[in-house]
């Protein structure tokens, strides 16, 4: 399979910044995504001069990004895309069996697959990130979900900081949310924040006796849900962001909630940043776009007990990072330094550990090998990388199933705890991971249930420097299923078997028979011999699972844990004036989708930082 390489056009650099330029702020925040964008806005609204630095540009008025329905185009768009080519294991031959390996053919195209042409250069498994104001909230599918209470309480158990208790974390959602799908007054939600939330149309579920409704009925029964109403849309009435008792143990159907308004326009951290900049109150926020942070600066003082971060060094210009498909080899930009009382890194699970390591904070041996002066030997930087496992069951029906999405969070019978462990959404789409030009469109008869595994047990991945050049990308290895992999694979198989059985409810309709493409190829219920045992499906998922929710590479941890990078207030251990506030801070992967949990994390960091500075939490004004 071939795909055109995105053209490397000459890019006009951002306005040159003089190497002599310097400025001092109260705070510098690096990265404008779900962690950094809201935090920088909040700090400025509290009256602190804040510099927000973003490597990408602003695409908030571009419909490819502003309209949530265009998320597939957004994730493929070279205007913002950073391509990380990752590994799933230490076994190179195993990784080569991933069906969507990407190769550079050398003739202006990509080859996608397992039988590349002679001379093609292996790139790896694509993991796209978004370099743009608003970060990856600008190219994702906009799905809103929350972590289990246990995952918030884990921080309490690790650090003793009771401010992380789940009921206390709930308030941050109500502070940031502007709910558009429930009547005002619901105590579990907010209505005056910057993050708009809405739900989709369930009209398709009102039609009686369609194939899709038959499948829906069977699915509901399979997870213990029933409805006395002939209007099956009532099955979706539970609130996926609700705060009901035993919510984490209750399997249910839901109407998917998106961080978008009711008309389908994305609601993102970039919107909050821009509204802060435009506010008549003239909050002291400065935004620098197309600016690549190359390292953190530290004081040379010999009177302080530990190194203190005092600013950052940057390189100005567009497409300077080599993950950018528009990067022109050899391109550099003018260098500047900016200073602050405190530096906050919010570059995400790949770039935050990279920036720390480039600045001398990380495992001593790794840094010394590359000639980087060690500021603080911190072995956990870049370790503990985790992600949700994602997989799917995909089939082609005889006729189209005219339906929307069936969304559910449920527990498989073999889950490790009493909590739900699978987030799934089913409908007439295909999604099989990431590669240039994804996804494959199998036509109007395609039908898929995509799954996100909640609570993956491995978290054995790493982000390691390849060179000391800040324009180079790091080596990223997730080491899928390395720890307790058999248990995680068994949970994915159990979920797939349940979902497959629900499709058989349409056996007597004109949409049947279904031809399953994977993981059990053949007619649904009559698979190719040997392809559909639990062991065969587990092997399929071991090779073909993918991911897009990287977290935990600068994780919060216990004082006695040598791999803990942050304390419970997001402070980098062993240095002063430096924090990390993004998804890399989570000790474990937070639920099924980390985008809203990271926004909640950002709001908590706001409160912690302002409390330390002696100010009350800022009231949001949007």
Which candidate, 511, 536, 538, 516, places its Cα nearest to that of 527? 516
In contact, 315 and 335? CB cutoff 8 Å: yes
Q: Answer yes or no: is 525 a known binding residue.
A: no
- d(Cα 133, Cα 111) in Å, to the nearest integer? 31
The domain segmentation of the chain, as residue ranges, is 22-80+133-141+266-382+551-613, 92-130, 201-255+388-544
Q: Answer yes or no: is 414 a known binding residue.
A: no
Task: Tell me the pLDDT of the chain averaged across its residues.
Answer: 94
Confidence of residue 11 (pLDDT cuts 50, 70, 90): very low
Q: Does the structure show a pLDDT above 90 at 527?
A: no
- d(Cα 348, Cα 136) in Å, to the nearest integer? 9
Q: Answer yes or no: is 143 a known binding residue.
A: yes
Q: Answer yes or no: is 142 a known binding residue.
A: yes
**Which pLDDT tens digit goes with each residue over 280-298?**
999 999 999 999 999 999 9
Confidence of residue 502 (pLDDT cuts 50, 70, 90): very high
Q: Does the structure show a pLDDT above 80 at 569?
A: yes
Q: What is the pLDDT of residue 622?
A: 44
Strands (E), 117-189: 121-130, 177-179
**Which pLDDT tens digit goes with each residue over 455-465?**
999 999 999 99
Q: Does the structure show a pLDDT above 80 at 434?
A: yes
Q: Answer yes or no: is 140 a known binding residue.
A: yes
Percentage of residues in the chain having pLDDT higher than 70: 95
**Which pLDDT tens digit goes with each residue over 211-231?**
999 999 999 999 999 876 788
Q: What is the pLDDT of residue 34?
A: 98
When pLDDT is averaged across residues 500-519 and rounded to a whole number, the result is: 95
**Which pLDDT tens digit goes with each residue over 354-410?**
999 999 999 999 999 999 999 999 999 999 999 999 999 999 999 999 999 999 999
**Which pLDDT tens digit goes with each residue over 107-119?**
989 999 999 999 9
In contact, 508 and 497? CB cutoff 8 Å: no
CATH number for 201-255+388-544 (one of 1.25.10, 3.40.50, 3.30.410, 3.30.2020): it is: 3.30.410
Q: Does the domain formed by 22-80+133-141+266-382+551-613 have CATH 3.50.50.60?
A: yes
Confidence of residue 618 (pLDDT cuts 50, 70, 90): low
**Which pLDDT tens digit goes with each residue over 20-29?**
355 799 999 9
Q: What is the pLDDT of residue 106?
A: 92
Q: Answer yes or no: is 62 a known binding residue.
A: no
Q: At 578, list the tokens.
A: 């430096």
Percentage of residues in the chain having pLDDT higher than 90: 91
**Which pLDDT tens digit goes with each residue over 438-457?**
999 999 999 999 999 999 99
Q: Does the structure show a pLDDT above 80 at 616?
A: no
Measure Cα distances from 21 to 24, 25, 314 in Å: 11, 14, 11
């Amino acid at each position: 399979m071939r795909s055109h390489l995105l053209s490397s056009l000459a890019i006009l650099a951002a306005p040159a910044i003089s190497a002599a330029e310097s400025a001092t702020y109260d705070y510098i925040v690096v990265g404008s995504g779900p962690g950094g964008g809201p935090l920088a806005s909040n700090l400025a609204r509290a009256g602190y001069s804040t510099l927000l630095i973003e490597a990408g540009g602003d695409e908030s008025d571009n419909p490819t990004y502003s309209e949530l329905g265009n998320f597939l185009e957004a994730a493929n768009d070279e205007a913002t895309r950073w391509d990380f080519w990752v590994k799933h294991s230490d076994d190179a031959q195993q990784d080569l069996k991933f069906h969507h390996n990407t190769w550079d053919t050398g003739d202006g195209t990509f080859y996608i697959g397992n039988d590349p042409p002679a001379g093609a250069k292996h790139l790896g498994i694509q993991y796209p990130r978004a370099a743009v104001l608003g970060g990856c909230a600008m190219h994702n599918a906009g799905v809103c979900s929350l972590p289990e209470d246990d995952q918030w309480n884990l921080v309490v158990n690790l650090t003793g900081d009771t401010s992380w208790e789940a009921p206390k974390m709930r308030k941050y959602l109500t502070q940031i949310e502007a709910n558009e799908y429930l009547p005002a007054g619901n105590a579990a939600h907010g209505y005056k924040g910057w993050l708009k939330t809405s739900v989709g149309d369930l009209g398709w579920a009102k039609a009686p006796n369609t194939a899709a409704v038959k499948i829906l009925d069977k699915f509901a029964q399979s997870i213990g849900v029933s409805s006395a109403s002939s209007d099956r849309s009532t099955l979706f009435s539970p609130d996926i962001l609700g705060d009901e008792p035993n919510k984490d143990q209750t399997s249910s159907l839901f109407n998917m909630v998106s961080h978008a308004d009711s008309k389908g326009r994305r609601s993102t951290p970039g919107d909050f940043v821009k509204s802060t900049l435009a506010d008549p109150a003239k909050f002291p926020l400065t935004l620098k776009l197309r600016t690549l942070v190359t390292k953190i600066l530290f004081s040379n003082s010999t009177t302080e007990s530990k190194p203190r971060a005092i600013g950052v060094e940057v390189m100005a210009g567009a497409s300077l990072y080599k993950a950018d498909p528009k990067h022109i080899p050899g391109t550099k930009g003018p260098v500047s330094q900016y200073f602050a009382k405190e530096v906050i890194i919010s570059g995400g699970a790949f770039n935050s550990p990279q920036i720390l390591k480039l600045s001398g904070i990380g495992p001593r041996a790794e840094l010394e090998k590359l000639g980087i002066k060690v500021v603080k030997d911190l072995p956990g930087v870049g370790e503990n990388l985790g992600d949700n496992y994602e997989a799917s069951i995909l089939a082609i029906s005889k006729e189209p199933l005219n339906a929307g999405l069936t969304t559910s969070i449920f527990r498989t019978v073999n889950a490790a705890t009493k909590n739900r462990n699978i987030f799934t959404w089913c409908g007439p789409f295909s999604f099989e991971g990431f590669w240039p030009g994804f996804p494959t469109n199998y036509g109007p008869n395609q039908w898929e249930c995509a799954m996100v595994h909640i609570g993956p047990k491995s978290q054995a991945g790493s982000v390691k420097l390849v060179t000391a050049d800040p324009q180079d990308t790091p080596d990223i290895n997730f080491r899928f299923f390395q720890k307790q992999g058999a248990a995680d694979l068994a949970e994915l198989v159990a979920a797939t078997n349940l979902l497959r059985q629900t499709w058989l409810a349409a056996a007597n309709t004109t949409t049947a028979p279904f031809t399953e493409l994977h993981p059990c190829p053949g007619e649904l219920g009559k698979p190719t011999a040997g392809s559909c045992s639990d062991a065969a499906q587990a092997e399929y998922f071991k090779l073909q699972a993918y991911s897009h929710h990287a977290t935990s590479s600068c994780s919060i941890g216990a004082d006695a844990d040598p791999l803990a990078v942050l304390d419970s207030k997001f402070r980098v251990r062993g240095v002063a004036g430096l924090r990390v506030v993004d998804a890399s801070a989570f000790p474990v992967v937070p639920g099924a989708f980390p985008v809203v949990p990271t926004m909640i994390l950002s709001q908590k960091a706001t409160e912690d930082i302002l409390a330390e500075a002696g100010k009350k939490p800022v009231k949001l004004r949007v």
